[in-house]
Chains A and B, each alone.
Chain A
């Protein structure tokens, strides 16, 4: 999988200008409130560039909220307020002057439920590409083929690129969504439980794809599947709620977190899930 070189209307250099050496994402004292009520408190975290980082923890402790801060999807949620310092590739994305379209073009996202547009397979990828300035037909065609091939979908859909994306199976839809995100050549990929709506086989395929992204993209993935986190993640963060407010309890290399957890809550959670 070669990182695609996309001609960009919005130069990516701004994003790469003064990033720190190894960290693609740096959070300092991040807080998210919904209608004045805190969802989580004071999270500080540095996500290594080019690696896969998993976030685990029980439901409702703020993992999705954290992901949505990173591409400022939180801006769309009524009553949501974010405070703290978020740097993506060195850039302060909380800056009110930050252009959201550019940010989101560089920070891709995969959702829990596959969400292809109610359009054809081709249009699903073409639409965002056109939005970001790729308008020449041959280039579009080449790029669509490449990303579909990257996610192993090309052979399955090459004959029906113009049929509705919603007719695909759930696993295929999720792979299409991944292809759509990859087409924009993002720096960072956020994934919010990307496999939890899929059957085990489709889930394994996605997992395999994520592993192949290592090195070229910084992947931040939320998962409820501890086995998955163990298999694919280089680093893992463990979230926990206390009094309804989420916190990051422990963040460590995956094998350390799973084999020598420092915090008793981490230990209990991992053991409980093991059975």
Chain B
């Protein structure tokens, strides 16, 4: 071979060296990313896990959160999350169905919605906070409240939610849409009896992703649901979300670092649970998805 394709030894040597250097660099990047992850995870778990006692979860915070637990914080967080989902899921599901199932008849509306959601997905969360304050708190007169915070988050998760719900619907094979249409079944019955049940796992994954995004959010809540640490009595009360609590403990409360670690680990565990749930559902779905024939 060398006879008729004479590559000089030097060229080949240089190629091999470049190859090795590139491989080394790629490995290096991976090692840096892994180390960063390890460092963050180890630090948080090391300082935070020891604080995870039942008391920490179920006692009221005391001394600005330095002492005591997270009871009212967790309640506020879950309330905000519930409001967010209650508002975002119906609208999101409706929009996702329109985008996935009526792409022919409603092409222009679909294109408008899609483009608008693409922009919305990139809007910084602090801007959602400003908007939520101006619209929900001031214009609609909700004041600083769980309701205002939840609705602000609903606006924020809508793009992600719609995109993943639409994805879930699109995974349903067209065969069934054609079969239903050819049998003269109405769109409503097709959705209710065939498409939505078949897409359910995908829809749940979308829902879970939206939940994760909402749980992780802080900036949009700073001036919508507020800082108040008391146990909320109604959705019109202000309440402090877990993420805000972490921020406040670490920035504004001397000696709050310890409990901030605990709260951070609780938040991460909630997110992890939510993500594992999504993963498990997606896995299970792949296993039960019927192949062709």
Contact = CB atoms under 8 A, between A and B. Distances in A.
Interface in A161-199: 166, 170, 173, 177, 180-181, 184, 197
B184 A131 contact: yes
Interface residues of A, number: 35
Nearest to A166: B290
B175 A75 contact: no
Contacts, number: 79
A78 B178 contact: no
Nearest to A103: B184
A127 B184 contact: no
Contacts of A181: 182-183
Interface stretch (B13-21, B82-90, B186-194, B247-255): B186-194
Given A118-B194, A118-B290, A127-B193, A132 B184 contact: yes
A102 interface: yes
B107 interface: yes
Interface residues of B, number: 23
Contacts of B182: 71, 73, 104, 108-109, 111, 181
Interface string A97-126: 000111111101101011111110000000
Contact of A111 (B178, B184, B197): B178
B29 interface: no
Interface string B257-293: 0000000000000000000000000000000001011
A78 B101 CA distance: 11
Interface string B159-199: 00000000000000001111111111110010001100110
Contacts of B290: 118, 166
Given A76-B104, A78-B104, A131-B186, A117 B181 contact: no
B178 A131 contact: no
A116 B198 CA distance: 13
A105 B184 contact: yes
A260 to B, nearest CB: 36
Given A77-B104, A127-B189, A184-B184, A177 B179 contact: yes
A146 to B, nearest CB: 17
B103 interface: yes
Contacts of B178: 73, 76, 109, 111, 115
B186 A111 contact: no
Interface in A61-92: 71, 73, 75-78
A267 to B, nearest CB: 35
A128 interface: yes
Which of B179, B181, B193, B198 has the most CB atoms of chain A within a 10 A radius of its CB? B179
A104 B120 CA distance: 40
A148 to B, nearest CB: 16
Contacts of B194: 117-119, 127
A117 B292 contact: no
B183 A116 contact: no
Interface of B: 103-104, 107, 175-186, 189, 193-194, 197-198, 290, 292-293
Given A71-B182, A113-B292, A184-B184, 9 more contacts: A77-B104, A100-B184, A108-B183, A115-B179, A119-B193, A128-B183, A128-B185, A131-B185, A132-B184
Interface of A: 71, 73, 75-78, 100-106, 108-109, 111, 113-119, 127-128, 131-132, 166, 170, 173, 177, 180-181, 184, 197
